[in-house]
Structure 1
Amino acid sequence: MPRTGLPSGSGTWLDTDVPVTGGGPGYGALIESLRDLLDGFAAASPDEETVRALTDAFAAWSERLESHRVGERQQVFGRRRDLHGRGQVMSPKFAAEEFDERSVKGTVTFGRYFLGGNGAVHGGAIPLLFDEVMGRLSNTAGRSQSRTAFLHTDFRSVTPVGVPLSVRAWFESEEGRKRFIRAEIRDGDTLCAESHGLFLALLPGQP
């Protein structure tokens, strides 16, 4: 399952030769800074002065960004195929390391932003990661875009925060428009969670 198993531009996991059309070359660094901010904020117990300063700073940046608001199809967030995680922070950053037309393997580290409690990842963040990875796999290798029809997740053991975890997803079968995909998260040899889902290829013109 080589990392170069798919030609760039065919819906691969990191299309480094895709022209950068939004956010410029520094957008990736911005997204990483935003991830660090969210993790730092989640881990902090700020004093009142810091709370006021952050509130003012966030309000100022929200006002500045309002002038850059665009329609859904023009937004940069979640659409940069040259960046891990498509340049978004809604789900934890999955870094693909090995992939081909039917499977992908990589790593993820859930930061403090995704903490549920007692060192464990929030239960809702795990299906979110599965949907991100499995949905992306469903659309690779020149396949048409698809949508999630169902996603079932089984929690097998605690998924720890702040630990590099291995993630694997693979096609179970394809039947017409139906794409059945499975995935798992492991902490070393420990199975943390596993999932199976159905993704349906969109019909022409279907949103």
Structure 2
Amino acid sequence: MSNDDLNTQLRSLLAAVARRDAIAFRSLYDATSAKLFGFALRILMKRELAEEVLQESFVNIWNNAGSYNQSLAAPMTWMTTIVRNKAFDMLRRVDDTVEIDADTFDKDVMEALESTAPTPIDALQMSGDAKALAHCLSRLEGLHRQAIALAFYHDLSHSEVAEQLKLPIGTVKTWIRRGLERLRTCLSRLEGA
């Protein structure tokens, strides 16, 4: 896929996310998370910190997709800026003495992000466990998967998930409970295979 095609696809997904389309959000995450994680990891040097920053960044992207302005930046540049800011915030929280030459660093990272070649982090990103979980998640019904993703990937309470999905809290609790049971069964089958 060319950079122009990718930018067109990402712009379309961001527009849908701005309308609170959770399926588009999942597609946006799938298309960009590996590169954005690699970017966060280059700044933070610790996997757990990079994972936390990636999660915070995607919450920010979900909440602010409507403010994306395609005339100001390419979609990946806009999302990278969010990750960069979250990563620098994390560095400040972890160690107030960190100094980074942001201009040089940003140039190197942007060149790496614009490359379409797969990176080593792309290969490591999906461990066997992650692949199994992704497979089992993909087998859940869309809204059940969405409820679980909001609760666990975005750390929302059941009532917050209900509010996001515009559903009764009882329905959300049932979907999450049933979804987790199905995930457990699916993962057990895969382990036994």
The two structures have a TM-score, normalised by structure 2, of 0.30
Greater helix fraction, Structure 1 or Structure 2:
2
Greater strand fraction, Structure 1 or Structure 2:
1
